[in-house]
Amino acid sequence: MRAQLFGKGLVFACLVASAGSAFAAGVPDTRLKNDTRLDDGFHSMYSHQFATAERIFADYQRCFPEDPFGYASQSAAVMFGELNRLHLLESAFEEGEDERSVTKSVGEPDPQVRQRIFDLASRTEQLSQPRLKRDPKDETALYSMMLVKGLEADYNAIVEHHYWSSLRLGSQGESWARSLLRADPEAYDAYLFIGIPEYVFGTLPAPLRWLASLAGYRGRRNTGIEDLERTTQHGHYLKSYAKIVLVLIYLREHDRPKAAKLMDELHAEYPDNPTFAMQAARLHAAVR
């Protein structure tokens, strides 16, 4: 129903946007859009309706072709779809309490899907960089850059197990996130990509943490968790993303009650997502 309503309103919305851009004389709106169409796309993505999410984001791109956030959002939908196809999130939830485990996929990563993720990220950067030259505080461009660097880091770590590349990309995502917070202190989604590297660096074994510090990487696990909790409490598009990450962290920290609470929230908001339903039941059985 959400997608149908989106489709019916798309043409009218594009006409309104086109009229508005004519009056704006080609100057892009630097504020991040709080758009119900984007909400629909992210809701579909978290509901495991990946084709619907991709269609919504593609339609958004046609409506706002110069907005990098549409391409960044579609990159997220493609990546989450690949994680689902490979059962990687499901595997991560089930192995979450074993710190020595490496999340294993069911099947092989699709190189064409990988190419799509990184092509969309590249298009995001192409659109974002000129905007940032005009205005270094352009919230849309900053958010979009933060998102694609964070996604690239996650893909490198979860799918390809290229952990040092992931740390490098995650550090870039963190830098964009901090720039976004300087432009808008209430951009709570940014704390997701600050909290992840903060936690990861803070939990590295001492020798690796020392090597990481030589490259300028530092982190504290508790600070990382606090940052992620900010996004789960006050975030917008990435609020549920942060909840997924925190469930995995709570499992690693052997805090099943907190993991179960967040999974209940995800299941309640996205009842069509079978992974959330299954993991909510599993965690409830474990905490009894």
At position 259, the amino acid (one-letter code) is A
Q: Give tens-digit pLDDT for 21-47.
A: 433 334 456 777 778 999 999 999 999
Whole-angstrom distance, CA of residue 244 vs CA of residue 239:
9
Residue range 208-219: average pLDDT? Answer: 62
Q: How many residues does the chain have?
A: 288
Of 62 and 16, the structure prediction assigns the larger pLDDT to 62
Whole-angstrom distance, CA of residue 173 vs CA of residue 175:
5
In this structure, what token pair is assigned to residue 220? 């504290």
Whole-angstrom distance, CA of residue 67 vs CA of residue 138:
11
Of 171 and 202, the structure prediction assigns the larger pLDDT to 171
In this structure, what token pair is assigned to residue 180? 């976004």
Question: What is the overall mean pLDDT for the chain?
Answer: 85
- The per-residue DSSP string of 131-187 comes to HHHH-TT-HHHHHHHHHHHHHHHHHHHHTS--HHHHHHHHHHHHHHHHHHHHH-TT-
Q: Which of 13-22, 63-72, 101-110 is predicted with the least confidence, judged by mean pLDDT?
A: 13-22
Write down the pLDDT at residue 214.
55
Q: Give tens-digit pLDDT for 142-175.
A: 999 999 999 999 999 999 989 878 888 988 999 9
Domain boundaries, the chain: 35-94+107-287
CATH of domain 35-94+107-287: 1.25.40.10
